[in-house]
Structure 1
């Protein structure tokens, strides 16, 4: 029996979502040199046709140095005009559109970007392939400004919501971490000071976005790294963000693209597939350290739920549960526990029309087996390798 609550409309700040399921950000891998391609538009239009209430475009950098690599969108004025085509397609398909904005920080590939990146404190970064210098106060003022400009451009592009990336070891997330942030100025030290940059960014994004757009954050509960950001820090930080009142919801996540990426994926590690797609020198390095970098975590349904319950008990603001949600029963259970929305990613790569299939009673569980072989496809267009390239969403 289909739960009525899952498919009732719900409020997210100023928005009304048609149901409680949103498409989480998954890097689409179809933005050559940061351009908005037909493939990117089709990717999100298909999810929208498939019944999700909102789909999230990932990852839009707030500045050129904040890109993950050269094939990352920078949400400037030119790209905003290009993205209007995407938001229009999503709206025409009956869904809302969200732009995830952020600065990659230590996760940025500086060789691909051909420019330096930023960190809370000076340290070596494998993704950056070298030493990253701690940001100056002046550089951090520019980061806050850049988030505000990107937010305004997102509104101009027709996005209904903006998600600030505060997770996975990206710049704002790295400032939260006692392991990565060794500063002694206003942006480092205790939990409150390490949250200062993210709080200023949230305030600026809200100011520039206005009141007609929802502002959310993808927020790390747990870095999955020794001496990293954990519940003893993340819960007080979330309370600060809630008290500030600039965010309409938190999407709860964990793990570090810098040090422990499998913590937010779970399942088999597709190491052979990753190695096959790398230049010989990089592939050799992955053979040596790959098992250490890509640790194996067995897949469990709703694997972030135990940590997320701590946040539901501590906060009154809307929360989105993320992490390995495959079954309608799991969605219903999350709503029963007080979560306002669930965010799905891999399951919607396998079946973009899964939400409609849930709604009409055609299925109660995704076909996704969490083999994680979709991970290496980011280099050629993110997709499920088990899905026929000619398959289409059921109408």
Structure 2
């Protein structure tokens, strides 16, 4: 006998946490932290989404090491950051929502010039957007990163978070090790899929060992890097099986694309080339104008655009899965529930309308106003928002 299809708007368990519904505000870098600390503006950003009805909002991006930031302003897990993080979690809880912290190391996507530290990657690699070379990570570097994730998990508990989301996607450090296009190592971290997946599994295990069942642990895993020779769905299925067998995670959020090589592959819709060029410093501004179309490619948008690939992960594992990508209305959420996904994650639609979930509760036929122009991506340098809505 088939299990009943869950009501996406009803309470649900995520590991040890009960969410008021199955809708997660996906991690979207807010651009609102300062000196690696929480600001009032960051708190207001997440309070708006909590008050708008989501079950859980996700703070992005909380780096586990100074050299793992894509922006020097990003939050670091330090004692100095704890008071602000506690203020943030308390404010979100006051609105009835749970709150997660996305933890990770950006690896080759990190900004070495802003951080004042070299970026690390599986191998030495030229990063066009920062016009600098990464450094090949040593075993000591990788152990430091693994322990940094464990430390972040412990501090997340102390700060009052309900969950952590481990970043295993978008060719950030763990994802770059998964990718055969980027990872050319000859040691125990390169070559076979088992070796390339070692860092991801070690990180997840370290976080689980550090936090036990005191908070929920999820991970964001690429299904497809979106580049020839990159990490692909058949390998993602096996990695998902290993993560499930390890017992380190309470749920897996499925994503795609490479912030390093093909960022628009995740987002679909318009590629705002001119808007990106306008906010970039020289000489990157000129590079975006001349060859940006090779990097910022356009892909047609459709609702639930990651569902086709995500179905194959769903068929391969029993663990809870979070469907991301083109979830914009109740009809799409219901499809996700009927297909066996336990949660859905939303990003751009909630940037346009933070109160969308409350409106859907009141009127299930409500449609999102998001037009997938992706101009919100260019707002991260001054505070992520829908540029079509006047600032409050």
Shorter-chain TM range is: over 0.9
TM-score normalized with structure 2 length = 0.97
1:106 corresponds, among 108, 114, 139, to 108
Per-residue deviation at 1:41?
A: 0.2
Could you say which residue in structure 2 is the equivalent of 1:296? 298
Distance 2:246 2:77 in 1: 25
Could you say which residue in structure 2 is the equivalent of 1:138? 140
1:352 corresponds, among 347, 350, 354, to 354
Could you say which residue in structure 2 is the equivalent of 1:37? 39
Distance 1:48 1:25 in 2: 13
3-state SS of 1:147 partner: helix
1:306-356 per-residue CA deviation (whole Å, 9 max, x = no partner) reads 100000010100000001111210000100000000000000001101111
Per-residue deviation at 1:363?
A: 4.6
Cα RMSD of the aligned pairs, angstroms, is 1.2
Could you say which residue in structure 2 is the equivalent of 1:80? 82
Instruction: Give yes or no for contact 1:108–1:127 (8 Å, CA) kept in 2.
Output: no
1:246 corresponds, among 242, 248, 255, to 248
3-state SS of 2:358 partner: helix
| 2:171 maps to 1:169 | yes
3-state SS of 1:34 partner: coil
Distance 2:317 2:55 in 1: 24
| 2:68 maps to 1:66 | yes
Distance 1:173 1:328 in 2: 31
Distance 1:286 1:354 in 2: 34
| 2:29 maps to 1:27 | yes
Instruction: Give yes or no for contact 1:160–1:213 (8 Å, CA) kept in 2.
Output: yes
Distance 1:301 1:321 in 2: 12
| 2:363 maps to 1:361 | yes
Instruction: Give yes or no for contact 1:329–1:364 (8 Å, CA) kept in 2.
Output: no
Per-residue deviation at 1:117?
A: 1.6
What count of residue pairs does the alignment treat as equivalent?
Answer: 388
Instruction: Give yes or no for contact 1:357–1:363 (8 Å, CA) kept in 2.
Output: no
Could you say which residue in structure 1 is the equivalent of 2:223? 221
Distance 1:80 1:199 in 2: 27
| 2:276 maps to 1:263 | no
3-state SS of 2:126 partner: strand
Of residues 96-105 and 269-278 in structure 1, the stretch that sits farther from structure 2 once superposed is 269-278
Distance 2:217 2:323 in 1: 16
Per-residue deviation at 1:194?
A: 0.6
Per-residue deviation at 1:127?
A: 3.6
3-state SS of 1:32 partner: coil
Per-residue deviation at 1:361?
A: 1.1
2:237 corresponds, among 232, 235, 252, to 235
Per-residue deviation at 1:364?
A: 2.3
Distance 2:343 2:364 in 1: 21
Distance 1:119 1:388 in 2: 39
Could you say which residue in structure 2 is the equivalent of 1:181? 183
Instruction: Give yes or no for contact 1:119–1:174 (8 Å, CA) kept in 2.
Output: yes
Instruction: Give yes or no for contact 1:106–1:127 (8 Å, CA) kept in 2.
Output: no
3-state SS of 2:146 partner: helix
Per-residue deviation at 1:362?
A: 6.4
Could you say which residue in structure 1 is the equivalent of 2:52? 50
2:151 corresponds, among 125, 149, 152, to 149
Could you say which residue in structure 1 is the equivalent of 2:280? 278
Instruction: Give yes or no for contact 2:129–2:284 (8 Å, CA) kept in 1.
Output: no
1:105-161 per-residue CA deviation (whole Å, 9 max, x = no partner) reads 000111111111210112212244222121111111111111111111111110000
3-state SS of 2:380 partner: helix
TM-score normalized with structure 1 length = 0.96
3-state SS of 1:7 partner: coil
Distance 1:110 1:133 in 2: 10
Instruction: Give yes or no for contact 2:157–2:214 (8 Å, CA) kept in 1.
Output: no
Per-residue deviation at 1:370?
A: 0.7
Instruction: Give yes or no for contact 2:330–2:364 (8 Å, CA) kept in 1.
Output: no
3-state SS of 1:252 partner: strand
Distance 1:235 1:4 in 2: 24
